[in-house]
Structure 1
């Protein structure tokens, strides 16, 4: 679980709700018509903008903002040092028995291509294409959430216009002015909250997640290519260590 995402959502919504409770009743800010306008309008507009499959798949994308499964770079270095030393001692074919136990499909595919005897250039082209498609999928997910964030305030403004029209048409009946004005203002409130506390922050988190995952993939590709070329384990370690921030690199003694 990503604590930053959970803490951020709890903190932002908690402070907003607290400010409401301290100055009145939370029930005042509950409006089903306003919610329908914002949520329904945002989803509908997004469906016009993107294919149905992409919009339905956004739930799986949102999951990545709460779940962090990116492997530690230090663990990757340890893995590749084990692979490199084994390949140097027993040959590249000695890696074949351990491939079936690898859970990372990207790493598994790269090692299998290496064991199969493909040239390093061919392996690099295949793995780079995998990274390109990964970036494309992540970019689409982040774009959809950003689109939600753009449409939600617009739907709020539409709700405001609807509320004002209803209010102006019933100015002769003072009892209807309050509910109509409530729909007008609360809809804008809902749109701003959903956009700035949910959709846009999640889009930003997905973009950062994508960058982190791409760096890990590039690190794995570098290790696989080094093994396929038969490079010295010490050189492989130096290459992979260069992906780490300076403060995380092991100090030589």
Structure 2
């Protein structure tokens, strides 16, 4: 579990609630059903209008990455590439055929399959780079969903505030009803800005960073497999790809 993400979420909640208490406020005043419905319901509705169903479902599935991000074994991947290069120099590319069948990563299997089949280095690079870029684009669509929610949420908060003030204007002759309208107005603004800046936008940024890290790992695999196809020395490949490990 990513404890830093959990700590950040808890710290954000503590900062808001703690600030409210420090100012002498009551936490109950931050609980407002109409404001919550306007902001969260409106944000969700606008997002559903914008987003295809497949991408929306994908974004929900990727939410687990916030606390349980996938691991990309840069060190292990580099060592495997070096071992494969050594095998290719000793036994030829056909010596890697069994390795291709055992590898669990479809992306690696595809690259190694092209290598064993005698593909030219530039052809291997082009095929793997195209697949990596297409996969990255698909995965980043989930982050864009939460970025959109981060844009809609403050606007819906303003809408809730205006609706609350309308209620206030309608009830100027009845002072007892003014409080609820004012509460909706201000709490809706808090919900809109709070959800955007403490949840939606940070979630989008975290998902984006995971996808980019995966692409970085795949770039290392591409460079390593192409280097094997070009017949480079295993030690040279290790030195060449060491930068990927350090930057992971």
Fold agreement, TM-score > 0.5: yes
Aligned partner of 2:7 in structure 1 is: 7
> For residue 120 of structure 1, what is the aligned residue in structure 2?
121
Aligned positions, number? 247
| Deviations, residues 171-192 of structure 1 (Å, cap 9, x unaligned) | 1111111111111111111111
Q: Secondary structure of 1:237's match?
A: helix
Moved over 4 A (4+): none
Q: 1:127, 1:210 → 2: CA distance?
A: 16
Structure 1 residue 244: deviation in Å? 4.0
Separation of aligned partners in 1, 2:181 and 2:123: 65
What residue in structure 2 maps to residue 66 of structure 1? 67
Partner of 2:155 in structure 1?
A: 154
Q: Which runs of 5+ in 2 are unaligned?
A: none
The 10-residue stretch of structure 1 (159-168 or 78-87) with the greater mean CA deviation from structure 2: 78-87
Counterpart CA distance in 1 for 2:13 and 2:102 is 43
Separation in structure 2 between the aligned mates of residue 193 and residue 90 of structure 1, nearest angstrom: 60
User: Contact 1:70–1:212 (CA<8 Å) still a contact in 2?
Assistant: no
Shift of 1:72: 3.4
Aligned partner of 2:51 in structure 1 is 50
Structure 1 stretch displaced more, 167-176 or 101-110:
101-110
1:82-161 aligned within 5 A: 82-161=83-162
Contact 1:70 1:216 in 2 (8 A): no
Give the match for residue 165 of structure 1.
166
Match for residue 251 of structure 1? Answer: none
Q: In structure 2, what is the Cα distance between the partners aligned to 1:29 and 1:115?
A: 63
The TM-score with structure 2 as length reference comes to 0.92
What TM-score does the superposition give when structure 1 sets the normalisation length?
A: 0.90
By how many angstroms is 1:47 displaced? Answer: 1.9
